[in-house]
Amino acid sequence: MKPLEGILVLEFAQFMAGPTAGLKLADLGARVIKIERPDKGEAGRQIAIKNLFIDGDSLVFHTINRNKESYAADLKKTEDLQKVKQLIAKADVMTHNFRPGVMEKIGLTYEDVCKINPRIVYGLVTGYGNKGPWAHKPGQDLLIQAISGLSWLSGTKNDGPVPFGLAVADMACGAHLTQGILAALLKRNKTGKSVLVEVSLLESILDLQFELLTTFLNDGKQLPKRSTVRGSGHAYLSAPYGIYQTSDGYLTLAMGDLMKIGKSIGCDLTLYQDKATWFEKRDEIIKKLGAYFLQNSTAYWCVRLEKEGIWCSSVLNYRQALDHEAFRVLKMTQAVTLSNGRQLITTRSPIEINKQKLYATKAAPKVGEDTHRIEYEFNITR
């Protein structure tokens, strides 16, 4: 048995953050039923990367909503809403990410739902929290990156703000919602009472930067100092941290002793014996190291550096990384079967339980494909 088998989750969430939490819960064994509007379903079905659609839904939707069921209901219709309330009465968890005010109009706020099910765990995702001047702004990943300070950490000093190449706010928020729900289930089981879990995209992306924000708040509120040299890996870390071009590719260096690195590659770094200079002269050091690394191949440098116990790695693209034995041994991919019989390759849960990897072959559902079966199973009446 998976850890959450027997837990019923009703997911009213759409797009990415809320459904990502549903995916994590489903991977751990929970039964996750998406409550979607009839015909079109949740809006995330039409949000695509590279305009890729599979079996009528975006590839993004398939990646986030595998291993779930779909129940179609128009929450504006009294009859459908009453059916949904019957499901809520039997659920362990309910999640949504509607803007503030939407659930008030429908009549499914935390207070409303507690009257239906006094043991419910109610998970709520917002963009910026429920109060304040931004409460009703669209909660979208790039917007959150922009206003949280995150876009001033990547790239060089001369690049201006650089967005992160991933929906990092959504992913972090989904993980935080999952953590909150798991903790709330433990609390619910101890007290027998409902628990409200609230997370926001903005708070999640701020938490993701907790090391840097703590540095900022305790260092005279000095803004991050990005390097002027391309490849520098961190606004707050000293040389040699970063990515360096070699004669045939790229090499990355993590934290390491500059004197030891210089000796192992034959680069004179004696001017920088004072560790304070490793940050103060960061750009100068990175340029000097970069000139050396251009003289030979990535493999050549990795052999020399690893021999001395220096943390380094070649820089791989997706094709190289996924073809590497180190990736294959993880067995990180799985196949799910679509309604048309076609198989879709995706990733699995990264969690192992009692030495068992968590796989699931069920693809994302079509809109409402489970409605009648769910009504029959739970004896949902008009």
Catalytic residue among 62, 136, 176, 234: 234
Q: Which residues contact 248 (CB under 8 A, 6 or more apart)?
A: 297, 298
Is the separation of the CB atoms in 353 and 5 below 8 Å? no
Clarify whether 324 is annotated catalytic. no
| Placement of tokens 């004696």 in the chain | 270
User: How many CB atoms are located within 10 Å of the residue 50 CB?
Assistant: 7
User: Which residues are known to be catalytic?
Assistant: 234
